[in-house]
Structure 1
Amino acid sequence: MNDNFTPESGSDRAEGSSRPQGSGQGYPGGFEPTSSPYGSFPQSAPLADDTRSFARPEQPAPMGPANGSAPVGTAEGKRSVGLGTALGLMLAGAVAAGSIVGVAVGRDGDGDDSSTQSASEVLRSEPADAPPIPEGSVASVAEAVLPAVVSIQVVTNTSAGEGSGSIISPDGLVLTNHHVVAGTTDGTVQVTLNDGTTKDADVVASDPATDIGIIKIRDASNLPTLEFGDSDQLVVGQEVVAVGAPLGLSGTVTSGIVSALERPVRASQDGGESSLIDAIQTDAAINPGNSGGPLVDMNGNLIGMNSVIASLSSGDAAGNIGLGFSIPSNFARRVADQLTATGTATQPMLGVTVDARNPVQGAQVVSVQPGGPGEQAGVRDGDIITRVNDRTIDTSDALIAAVRSHDFNETVTLEVLDPATGETREVEATLTGE
């Protein structure tokens, strides 16, 4: 038995939860590179009860000639040419204006060309030095973080895609999403460092249930790294910075705030599996290609991994609407340590099965594992768990996410409602491994 779902419920999806349904298997709300035209974006399906949907911010690599909108590289090229032309015209105009001023000043005098020389000297003068970057600014964070962020390119026999990652060890361990590197047993993984260097990499391990993966850059040493921050210390309204390669544009930096904490977000994985994250919600712009990239605080510490974005409906392209979701760093670090050490990951468990249909407010227990933490705490079939410590539980996914946010052998206080009597009681349970 597990905390995720129950056959009796008929579904493991909680009402109002965020399980996205993508146009392609394993690319929820994202992209199936082999089926969608290059340059166009398949849509994520709406949730059952509203028009929200959630997509993984993963970017497919180019698979052929443009069909529909222009490919990223071409669009960027056009923008660069247009901008260069505009700037060129502006600069040419400035030079022409300076020449006219010089002539006018010269003619306005009595033959002395000192004024003309003075005007020319002004035009030739060196620009003033840029002011120092203020400590704690977005610019200073970007300067510190960018060297430790990579873009990831994955190519298999049937598909290609791109994502982002954070270097977490000098010898090349990179933290990213499972869905970025899933299915690479028959393919290749490459990373591009911030200086443009491209290196081969190997998948160490990844876990679909948590959407966390670890890759290792080959022949790497003395690489810059990101330091893990304490995601438990985050507060709503705190400034954050997201870094990654949206739409293949590596080294992109966006900023925003922590919009909310403890958001249970469920997303589909390859093979019909799903991941559930206890997410940090942010309005920092996150787009396809940001998957696996870091969310950092204003000290440059890694406090989250960008993983999921929301779109308004199935008729809208997956992209930033100010609703991005990141895996908290404390959770990501724990799973990453397990994956690096053993190749697998397990999560703390309560030892109860809950009804994913959410027929009531809270998480209703369908069955209790004999001898498990729930039974030992006195939780019974039919009970409704409404709180874990100081956190309100309103759905089954909220309970699962809350339990996973704690560590092994940690004792939590549960608020339990007996629906038969209407009485509420508190019990203590010590979480064990799966």
Structure 2
Amino acid sequence: MTSLLSKSAPIAVAAALAMAPMLAPTVALAVPAGGYGDLVENVAPAVVFIEVTGVTQTGATLPDNIPESLRRRFEQHRPETAPQSGLGSGFIISKEGQIVTNHHVVNGAQSVRVKMADGRTFDAEVLGSDPATDIALLSIKAEVELPFVSFGTSQTMRVGDEVVAVGNPFGLSSTVTSGIISAKSRNINSGPYDDFIQTDAAINRGNSGGPLFNNDGDVIGVNTAIISPGGGSVGIGFAVPSDVVRNVVAELAKDGSVTRGWLGVSIRPMSDEVAQVLGFETSKGAVVDLISKDSPAEAAGLKKGDIILSFDGTEIEALRDLTRAVADKDPDDRANMTVLRRGKELILDVTIGTLVPQKA
């Protein structure tokens, strides 16, 4: 399990788009009469246990001044590599055997083994992986149709709506927990595309890559991280929204990678002092700090110190608004930007470039 540190507590990776009509909470989003038994019976067969084996380097590094005879003797006898295993969760999204999980669950894997709720096991192939959103797509081959679940629309979910998590915390397969959506669009500083659903459904080590369901049994998130001062669940977990996952999975299924738009700027927030001078109630927009040479931003005429207020219709309230808006564009798409330069608003047109894929 990988740990990321925030200022207040460890954030632990929990080894953890069509619009649908809003449904009345008393109909579809209320706790089912008699509990979640029927829902779990329907969805649990498609949730899988993932076991990963990789290789890690072992042994100490010798100092430079050691005698050559001792160095040769040491090199002959030390183990170069050792097996390393990891556990996680996933869920089947097609009868042919496509499985969604987290990138960090399968990153560096030499072999991936999938175990279903009914005890069947399969060797899995990693079709593709996206470090930026921590989503990976696997495939298994079976002689029969497999149980699978479908994506719902995370955008229509509200804070307070009930959710159910299914996964394999600490290797305990098919564990079910329930809770509510505690917040939406959370930024936990894990990457440039943070837009997490926060939930108080218990998520622990081993839940990573498992599904977060709404009361209709649709996947509305992929459980990915927890805030955990002691290593266990304290009721603060995070899931990648299904609207993001659906798009990433579609691209991974095509060629194993995700293509994102690129603007070619370094940006920083507007200071409160500048916001006050400009007459804004709060700081907003993205201040251009640096423009990459031969970038789309340079070709569009952006200058250092410009403040990007909107991008292709998206209002830029925080830096990640611009990051996501640009990434969502396809290379060679055209977009317009509203830019504030020396107190005057300008409209600039830009042709989007291609972002170099992030290394795992």
The TM-score, its normalising length taken from structure 2, stands at: 0.72
Q: 1:134 to 1:209 in 2, by over 3 A?
A: closer
Counterpart Cα distance in 1 of 2:39 and 2:334: 37
Q: How big is the alpha-carbon RMSD for the aligned residues of Structure 1 and Structure 2?
A: 3.1
Q: 1:414 to 1:244 in 2, by over 3 A?
A: farther
| Structure 1: unaligned runs, 5 residues or longer | 1-26, 30-43, 60-132, 268-273
Is the 2:259–2:330 contact (alpha carbons within 8 Å) kept by the matching residues of 1? no
> 1:182 aligns to what?
107
Q: 2:41 aligns with which of 110, 118, 143?
A: 143
1:118-137 correspondence to structure 2 within 5 Å: 134=32
1:238 to partner: Cα distance? 2.4
Q: How many residues align?
A: 301
> 1:283 aligns to what?
200
Counterpart Cα distance in 1 of 2:302 and 2:34: 48
| 3-state SS, counterpart of residue 94 of structure 2 | coil
Counterpart Cα distance in 1 of 2:307 and 2:184: 23
Q: 1:431 to 1:180 in 2, by over 3 A?
A: same
1:195-214 correspondence to structure 2 within 5 Å: 195-214=118-137
Counterpart Cα distance in 2 of 1:206 and 1:415: 34
Q: Is 1:153 the equivalent of 2:51?
A: yes
Amino acid in structure 2 at the alignment position of 1:382:
G
Counterpart Cα distance in 2 of 1:283 and 1:329: 18
1:309 to partner: Cα distance? 1.4
| 3-state SS, counterpart of residue 112 of structure 2 | strand
1:381 to partner: Cα distance? 2.4
> 1:261 aligns to what?
184
Q: Is 1:317 the equivalent of 2:230?
A: yes
Q: 1:281 to 1:58 in 2, by over 3 A?
A: same
User: Which structure is higher in strand share?
Assistant: 2
> 1:51 aligns to what?
8
> 2:69 aligns to what?
none
Q: 1:336 aligns with which of 249, 263, 266?
A: 249
Is the 2:166–2:175 contact (alpha carbons within 8 Å) kept by the matching residues of 1? yes
Q: Is 1:345 the equivalent of 2:258?
A: yes
- Cα shift readout 1:109-155 (whole Å, capped 9, x = no counterpart): xxxxxxxxxxxxxxxxxxxxxxxx94795333222211111010112
1:201 to partner: Cα distance? 1.6
Q: 1:211 to 1:144 in 2, by over 3 A?
A: same
Amino acid in structure 2 at the alignment position of 1:336:
V
Counterpart Cα distance in 1 of 2:183 and 2:223: 14
Counterpart Cα distance in 1 of 2:209 and 2:113: 14
Amino acid in structure 2 at the alignment position of 1:333:
R
Q: Is 1:327 the equivalent of 2:250?
A: no
Counterpart Cα distance in 1 of 2:35 and 2:329: 32
1:69-148 correspondence to structure 2 within 5 Å: 134=32, 138-148=36-46
Amino acid in structure 2 at the alignment position of 1:212:
I
- Cα shift readout 1:175-203 (whole Å, capped 9, x = no counterpart): 11110001113xx2111111122222222
1:258 to partner: Cα distance? 2.3
Q: 1:239 to 1:404 in 2, by over 3 A?
A: farther
Q: 2:141 aligns with which of 213, 218, 239?
A: 218
Q: 1:193 aligns with which of 95, 98, 116?
A: 116
Is the 1:348–1:406 contact (alpha carbons within 8 Å) kept by the matching residues of 2? yes
1:369 to partner: Cα distance? 5.3
User: Which structure is higher in helix share?
Assistant: 1
1:342 to partner: Cα distance? 0.9
Is the 1:175–1:213 contact (alpha carbons within 8 Å) kept by the matching residues of 2? yes
1:433 to partner: Cα distance? 4.2
Compare relative contact order (CA 8 Å, sep 6+) and give the higher one, 1 or 2: 1
The TM-score, its normalising length taken from structure 1, stands at: 0.61
| Structure 2: unaligned runs, 5 residues or longer | 17-30, 56-82, 272-282, 356-360
Counterpart Cα distance in 2 of 1:147 and 1:134: 20
> 1:301 aligns to what?
218
Counterpart Cα distance in 2 of 1:238 and 1:142: 17
Q: 2:286 aligns with which of 363, 384, 395?
A: 363
Counterpart Cα distance in 2 of 1:284 and 1:428: 45
1:414 to partner: Cα distance? 4.9
Q: 1:230 to 1:191 in 2, by over 3 A?
A: same
Amino acid in structure 1 at the alignment position of 2:203:
I
Is the 1:170–1:220 contact (alpha carbons within 8 Å) kept by the matching residues of 2? no
Q: 1:372 to 1:330 in 2, by over 3 A?
A: farther
> 2:163 aligns to what?
240
| 3-state SS, counterpart of residue 277 of structure 1 | coil
Amino acid in structure 2 at the alignment position of 1:384:
I
